[in-house]
Structure 1
């Protein structure tokens, strides 16, 4: 239900007051879990050539962009209120944390494809990178919410477990 006291010229997103920290956490966790699952899926077939790692990096980036587009568009459509001209683009631009969270894994895979490091086994480094990213996101946001250090560390551990679950699920599926 729309707020009848809100200025009709104010966009829906502005009236809702999206929290930047929440968006960064959501996008970061979503992107990190997406990167873990994509690396697991792409490495399932055991291709470890430099060309396959460049291909993996490209597909991870394309998947992240498609996910951000779908998620931003879903937010835009779900608001069900009149929109201003550029609200759709703002909704899409608001998905930048998802893309940012995937980029380190894209660089890691692309680097293996460009010969910066061996392409074989790079998926393990990608898993560790994303698990550390999930832990860090949980820790930083919990501390930003004035949680105690033990609670913040616990939050980081729980967030990191999301990545571990993806890795373990992949190992079981293989």
Structure 2
């Protein structure tokens, strides 16, 4: 069932569910990419995993800020006082989507599990998240279960591409 939204002239108009799905996919791909980039040189100490967690969070916040700001300046409508803050707040799904990966990296940094080899659980988590978001998005738009599952697989392949590229680079 598709949702429709209405907005007064000058206000942003979008489906909040669509924004959550977009931000989730963007965040999961960002998390996969950052884990691949941060672990490229084989640093797997507890200190480096805490550092990786911080960098992932900083990168997600910077990406959300840039994306929200780009939406704000790209709109051709007149802006009200709080529209810039609203545009930035709309990017919360991107940041939220990286938090499980931040927790995996930070947990390794705090010694909750081994710091070495934490990339595989992080990749698996994000590929699963991409699959789930693809299925949910397709079902929300009225697609059949077969199409939804295929969409989930295609979305998950985004994460797999990052993992394969990481393996090739190493």
TM-score with structure 1 setting the length? 0.91
Q: Would you say 1:106 and 2:108 are equivalent positions? A: no
Question: What residue is the counterpart of 1:147 in the other structure?
Answer: 143
Question: What residue is the counterpart of 1:165 in the other structure?
Answer: 161
Q: Would you say 1:80 and 2:76 are equivalent positions? A: yes
**How big is the shift at 1:37?**
0.3
Question: What residue is the counterpart of 1:55 in the other structure?
Answer: 51
* Of 64, 68, 71, the match for 2:64: 68
- For residues 156 and 147 of structure 1, what CA distance do their matches in structure 2 show? 12
Deviation per CA, 1:38-79, whole angstroms, max 9, x where unpaired? 000000010000000000000000000000000000000000
Q: Which runs of 5+ in 1 are unaligned?
A: 1-5
Q: Which runs of 5+ in 2 are unaligned?
A: 1-6
- For residues 80 and 149 of structure 1, what CA distance do their matches in structure 2 show? 38
TM-score with structure 2 setting the length? 0.94
Q: Would you say 1:40 and 2:40 are equivalent positions? A: no
* Of 148, 152, 157, the match for 1:156: 152
Query: How much is the aligned-residue C-alpha RMSD, in angstroms?
Result: 1.1
**How big is the shift at 1:165?**
0.3
- Helix, strand or coil at the partner of 1:12: coil
* Of 102, 123, 142, the match for 1:127: 123
- Helix, strand or coil at the partner of 2:40: coil
Question: What residue is the counterpart of 1:12 in the other structure?
Answer: 11
Say if 2:24 and 2:94, in contact at 8 Å, map to a contact too: yes
- For residues 104 and 24 of structure 2, what CA distance do their matches in structure 1 show? 17
Higher deviation after alignment, 140-149 or 60-69: 140-149
**How big is the shift at 1:80?**
2.5
- Helix, strand or coil at the partner of 2:121: helix
